[in-house]
Amino acid sequence: MNDTISLIMNHRSVRKYSDRPVSQEQLEAIVASAQMASSSSNVQAYTAVAVTEPELKNRLADLAGSQAYIRECPVFLVWCADLSRLKKASETHAPEAKSYEGAVENFVVATVDAALAAQNAAVAAESLGLGIVYIGGIRNEIEAVSEALGLPDYVYPIFGMCVGYPDPQHGAGIRPRLPLEAVLHMNGYRPEQNERGVEAYDETSVRYLTERTGGQRTSSWSQQMAGKLTSPARLQLKDFLERKGFLSE
């Protein structure tokens, strides 16, 4: 263990923030750290939109399912996959050639690039004593979110990230993860490791959830995942992405 690994291993989602502001210098350091994440072929196909205006945060909070911590956090970062810069480069330097900004491969590259950058930002924020929580709920009303932020074609919002100083009165524990053997398979995929890992994790997750909710929720991880996969969610995404220029090839 070292300080970096210790910081990562103590990550927790923060859903309650103090009134202490995040400085512009801190914000810029966080996003500059994000930029140092690995990027496929150096495309850097992402943009972070920092939202600090209360009215806009309120609007995004409503669109994301009325999540109060979006309103309360000093900075709400919206991480976007962004192929618009690449399309402009193609139009400028190869105007006669067919370009493939709408290809599924480039959609995957941009999405992965944004996720890698965001996780760098999360670690950087936590190193400064700040807390974060990812917000997938911005995809609930993804078209309205896109309009609210003025996102052009070939840009789509993947997730949000609340950033701020944790409220010391509302500490949250560290959520246990799957056993390492379930996710670390040596020299080939081992289905039996998944089975053992999930069985053990179900027991752990029941204990964690029962304690966290005071017995109001007692479902296992695999039960929760079964419920998630059998409940349709955000099925409008494919049409939205195609209208934005993605997934055309």
Distances in whole angstroms, Cα of residue 37 to Cα of each of 42, 105, 187, 205, 237? 10, 19, 26, 31, 27
219 and 208 in contact (C-beta within 8 Å)? no
Nearest to 137 by CA among 77, 63, 78: 63
In the chain, the domains with their CATH numbers are: 3-174+233-243 (3.40.109.10), 180-212 (no CATH)
Q: What is the pTM of this model?
A: 0.95
Q: pLDDT truncated to tens, each residue of the chain (249 aa)? A: 899 999 999 999 999 999 999 999 999 999 999 999 999 999 999 999 999 999 999 999 999 999 999 999 999 999 999 999 999 999 999 999 999 999 999 999 999 999 999 999 999 999 999 999 999 999 999 999 999 999 999 999 999 999 999 998 876 688 999 999 999 999 999 999 999 999 999 999 999 999 988 999 999 999 999 999 999 999 999 999 999 999 999
